[in-house]
């Protein structure tokens, strides 16, 4: 229950802080090459676009998932910057939640159990067969 409340709080805080990006425009750093002036992206998701995404090194990188995501955004919103920014917001929220859940699991915080809780409490020795024995338990 506590993990769900913290997760919800993280989603609300992240969306509250970043929701305004939907109304922002493109910037002059790399948006022209990635979206604004890129005919392959603005054409939307298509078989030819998928082939292009997996074969191009445009923008000095090979990152087909980025191109496919941008093509999907163009398919739904054309050249409107808000669509691209909203996708980034959704991806950011997903990253925040995944990181929180990873840390909760690793540390046991918020009701999560560390994946090696049992072995972290035990001293492995040849004379003890289980963590339940007196000799095998850390004090």
Query: Helix axis angle, 64-77 relative to 47-55, nearest 10°?
Result: 150
**Rounded-to-integer distance, Cα 73 and Cα 20, Å:** 18
Predicted confidence (pLDDT) per residue in 96-122, tens digit: 999 999 999 999 887 666 655 444 444
Report d(CA 59, CA 97) in Å as an integer: 30
pLDDT digits (tens, 9 = 90+) for 45-103: 999 999 999 999 999 999 999 999 999 999 999 999 999 999 999 999 999 999 999 99
114 in Cβ contact with 120 (< 8 Å):
yes
**What span, in angstroms and rounded, lies between the C-alpha atoms of 38 and 59?**
11
Strand partners, 137: 122
């Amino acid at each position: 229950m506590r993990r769900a409340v913290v997760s919800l709080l993280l989603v609300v805080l992240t969306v509250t802080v970043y929701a305004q990006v939907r109304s922002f425009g493109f910037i002059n750093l790399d948006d022209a090459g990635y979206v604004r002036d890129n005919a392959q992206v603005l054409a939307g998701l298509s078989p030819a676009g998928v082939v292009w995404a997996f074969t191009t090194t445009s923008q000095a990188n090979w990152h087909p998932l980025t191109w496919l995501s941008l093509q999907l955004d163009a398919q739904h919103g054309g050249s409107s910057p808000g669509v691209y920014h909203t996708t980034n917001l959704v991806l950011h929220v997903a990253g925040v939640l995944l990181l929180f859940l990873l840390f909760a699991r690793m540390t046991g915080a918020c009701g999560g159990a560390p994946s090696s809780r049992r072995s972290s409490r035990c001293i492995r020795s040849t004379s003890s067969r289980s963590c339940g024995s007196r000799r095998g338990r850390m004090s």
